[in-house]
């Protein structure tokens, strides 16, 4: 390895920049690779390229992009986010670097292929159907019965997910998805319909090296029914490293990683712990979203960010220590505010009360007074997020419940949108 290593990060946008910062803290130079000529709508806006040695925009010619990246002699190629996974696989494979390869790239991005792949490997997966028309999903929903989930094949952050209790609802969901664009500004040509899994959902963030897996953090989610969404994620809690549930989740996540061919780098695995055991919701071959690894790093002294750097820059150290406990044991919660309104935000009523909570650590406000606020229907539409952190788990749980008590219709002063402007604010 050269004295001053360099890594290429594919599609570093928004909060994924935290991974770039972690590499740079270790004295590593970074080349940014952009997998699409146009920046996806969700990421458009000014962003600083000064921390990168170069910014290479992939124009569709893999040979040209491989040559451009190879000119910098990278130690590794890492996906900065979900949209960059397949190009990162192709570049790392072509350059002879630690790679998950391209053979199962589609299974690491396409949610239908993903579940079919793990099931073929003998890992428990949900019943599902690839659907392109309203009639397709109506027929399958009638055969399954009960509630089902309909989602885009290649999106993220809860975009487009619908929980449907009738074939009519499922048909309407497919009609909304197919032909529209996903969060990455790519067309949805089909959707996947899956059985609804009952159980607590967990997010397991991992890092792998040579097929050896480190579970870096496990987050437990809680759900509410709001704004027409039956299963809206509202809070995630950082769990202790050890426990009965954690052991089940760790073992199952390892099976999923193996089935999807994830041998190197970070992964984000969403799992429902049902009465019959763990079942995959979906997985991504990239760091966890919402900046959760950053907060886990503060609470536990290390996180998926540190372990990703170790896996690529110090693989021997990773393999020797990947089962070690974390140095700190603080408790943490990430609480999203749930707006019941769409319109122009005049003011929040009560932000000071949230800042006065005993375990308050940080507040991220996405919508400020004067801005457009949406009804919260997915992970992309929280108007603000409160991060709680404390040595006492009870204090964090209490404060999270207090936020949910304070957050409600009276918390928001909103000038409603007119009727003809509301279409984009409804699920």
**pLDDT tens figures, 205-214:** 999 999 999 9
Distance between start and end Cα atoms, the chain: 50
Contact 377, 405 (CB under 8 A): no
Identify the structural domains of the chain with CATH numbers, from first to last.
Answer: 6-99 (3.40.50.20), 127-195 (3.30.1490.20), 199-414 (3.30.470.20)
Task: Find all residues with CB under 8 Å of 126, minimum gap 6, and list them.
Answer: 115, 194, 195, 197, 279, 280, 281
Q: What is the residue-wise DSSP string for 230-282?
A: EEEEEEEEEPPS-SHHHHHHHHHHHHHHHHTT--SEEEEEEEEEETTEEEEEE
Mean of the per-residue pLDDT values for the chain?
93
Give the model's confidence band at 223: pLDDT under 50 very low, under 70 low, under 90 confident, else very high.
very high
Instruction: Kindly tell me if the per-residue pLDDT of 407 is higher than 80.
Output: yes
What is the C-alpha separation between 19 and 268, in angstroms, rounded?
14
Of 148, 143, 133, the residue nearest 190 (C-alpha): 133
Paired tokens of 183: 């969060």
Lowest mean pLDDT among 159-163, 300-304, 393-397: 159-163
E-strand spans in 35-177? 54-57, 76-79, 128-131, 148-152, 162-164
For the segment 283-290, the average pLDDT, to the nearest whole number, is 94
For the segment 375-399, the average pLDDT, to the nearest whole number, is 95
What is the C-alpha separation between 301 and 328, in angstroms, rounded?
5
Give the model's confidence band at 3: pLDDT under 50 very low, under 70 low, under 90 confident, else very high.
low
Pick the residue with more confidence: 221 or 188?
A: 221
pLDDT in tens, 150-161: 999 887 767 788
What is the C-alpha separation between 104 and 240, in angstroms, rounded?
32
Instruction: Kindly tell me if the per-residue pLDDT of 269 is higher than 70.
Output: yes
Instruction: Kindly tell me if the per-residue pLDDT of 43 is higher than 90.
Output: no
Tell me what percent of the residues of the chain surpass a pLDDT of 90.
85
Strand partners, 162: 150
Give the model's confidence band at 19: pLDDT under 50 very low, under 70 low, under 90 confident, else very high.
very high
**Res 419: pLDDT:** 52
For the segment 320-346, the average pLDDT, to the nearest whole number, is 96
Contact 265, 285 (CB under 8 A): yes
Instruction: Kindly tell me if the per-residue pLDDT of 140 is higher than 50.
Output: yes
What is the C-alpha separation between 38 and 384, in angstroms, rounded?
28
Instruction: Kindly tell me if the per-residue pLDDT of 2 is higher than 60.
Output: no
DSSP label of 187: B
Pairing between strand 29-34 and 6-10?
Answer: parallel
């Amino acid at each position: 390895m050269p004295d001053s290593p360099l890594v290429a990060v594919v599609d570093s946008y928004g909060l994924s920049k935290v991974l770039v910062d972690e590499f740079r803290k270790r004295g590593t130079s970074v080349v940014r690779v952009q997998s699409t000529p146009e920046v996806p709508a969700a990421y458009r806006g000014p962003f600083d390229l000064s921390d990168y040695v170069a910014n290479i925009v992939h124009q569709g010619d893999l040979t040209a992009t491989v040559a451009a990246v190879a000119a910098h002699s990278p130690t590794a190629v890492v996906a900065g986010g979900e949209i960059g996974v397949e190009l990162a696989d192709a570049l790392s494979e072509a350059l002879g670097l630690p790679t998950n390869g391209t053979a199962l790239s589609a299974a690491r991005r396409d949610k239908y292929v993903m579940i079919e792949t793990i099931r073929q490997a003998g890992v428990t997966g949900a019943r599902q159907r690839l659907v392109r028309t309203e009639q397709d999903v109506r027929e399958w929903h009638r055969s399954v019965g009960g509630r089902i989930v309909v989602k885009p094949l290649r999106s993220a952050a809860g975009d487009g997910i619908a929980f449907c209790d009738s074939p009519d609802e499922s048909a309407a969901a497919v009609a909304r998805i197919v032909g529209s664009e996903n969060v990455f500004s790519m067309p949805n040509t089909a959707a996947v319909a899956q059985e609804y899994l009952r159980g607590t959902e967990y997010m397991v963030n991992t890092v792998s090296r040579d097929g050896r897996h480190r579970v870096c953090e496990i987050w437990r989610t809680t759900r509410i029914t709001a704004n027409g969404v039956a299963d809206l994620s509202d809070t995630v809690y950082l769990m202790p490293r050890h426990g009965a549930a954690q052991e089940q989740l760790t073992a199952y996540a390892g099976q999923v990683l193996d089935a999807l061919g994830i041998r190197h780098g970070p992964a984000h695995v969403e799992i429902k712990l049902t009465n019959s055991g763990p079942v995959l919701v979906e997985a991504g071959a990239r760091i966890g979203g919402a900046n959760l690894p950053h907060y886990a790093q503060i609470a536990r002294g290390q996180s998926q960010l540190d372990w990703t750097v170790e896996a690529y820059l110090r693989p021997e150290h990773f393999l020797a220590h990947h089962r070690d406990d974390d140095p700190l044991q603080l408790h943490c919660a990430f609480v999203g505010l749930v707006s019941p309104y769409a319109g122009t935000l005049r003011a929040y009523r009560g932000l000071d009360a949230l800042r006065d909570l005993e375990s308050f650590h940080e507040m991220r406000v996405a919508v400020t007074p004067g801005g457009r606020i949406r009804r919260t229907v997915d992970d992309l539409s929280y108007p603000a997020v409160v991060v709680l952190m404390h040595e006492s788990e009870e204090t964090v749980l209490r404060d999270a419940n207090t936020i949910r008590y304070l957050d409600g219709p009276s918390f928001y002063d909103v000038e409603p949108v007119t009727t003809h402007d509301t279409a984009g604010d409804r699920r």
